[in-house]
C-alpha cells in the first residue's frame, strides 16, 4: 500500500510565480537527501 498526499486546499500559481515554484521543486528534487516532495500549488 502507498500513502498518497492530497491537499485539502490548493493555490494557483501563474507566470513568474509558477516558474519560480517549478525551479524550487526541481532543486529540491535533485537533492540527494530528498525522498519525496509535496506541495499544494497548481502550476498554470
5-15 confidence digits (pLDDT tens): 999 999 999 99
pLDDT at 1: 86
pLDDT digits (tens, 9 = 90+) for 13-41: 999 999 999 999 999 999 999 999 999 99
pLDDT reported for residue 3:
87
Structural domain boundaries of the chain? Answer: 11-43
**Cβ-based neighbours of 43, under 8 Å, separated by 6 or more:** 13, 18, 21, 22
Amino acid at each position: 500500500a502507498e500513502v498518497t498526499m492530497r491537499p485539502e486546499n490548493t493555490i494557483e500559481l501563474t507566470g513568474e510565480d509558477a516558474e519560480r515554484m517549478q525551479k524550487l521543486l526541481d532543486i529540491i528534487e535533485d537533492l540527494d537527501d530528498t525522498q519525496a516532495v509535496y506541495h499544494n500549488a497548481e502550476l498554470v
